[in-house]
Amino acid sequence: MSENNFNTSNPETANHHWFPFLRYKKECEAAGKEASVNEWMRATGQLDAKIAHEESVALAAKIAAEKEADAKKAIKKEAEEKKAALKKDIQKSTKSISENESAKN
């Protein structure tokens, strides 16, 4: 076997199969962190599309929550306006009834 064949299976330098992940795992263990395939793929840029999708989903959820909060505020404001208008109408009708009764007397 040639020396080149030995280097292709050297876990410290090989970039095929799981060797890159195993090096990442060793680095994580040295740093006292838990290694995961998902985090390794994120760190190496292999999940850029997934990360972008997660960010867009989070942004859409935030926008939906803001719209819902705005809608609730608008509904509450409209209800308060209707309540104030109804109270005003009741006061007017009560006033006109009392005026009609005093005019009859």
Alpha-carbon dihedral of residues 72, 78, 81, 85, nearest 10 degrees?
-140
Q: Is the pTM of this model over 0.85?
A: no
Mean pLDDT in residue range 52-73: 96
pLDDT tens digits, one per residue of 9-39: 776 777 777 888 999 999 999 999 998 988 8
Q: Which residues contact 24 (CB under 8 A, 6 or more apart)?
A: 35, 40, 43, 44
Q: What is the pLDDT of residue 1?
A: 45
Please give the residue that has the higher pLDDT: either 103 or 40. Answer: 40
CB atoms within 10 A of CB 65: 10
**Helical H segments across the chain, by residue range:** 3-8, 19-31, 37-43, 48-104
What single-letter DSSP state applies at residue 18? T
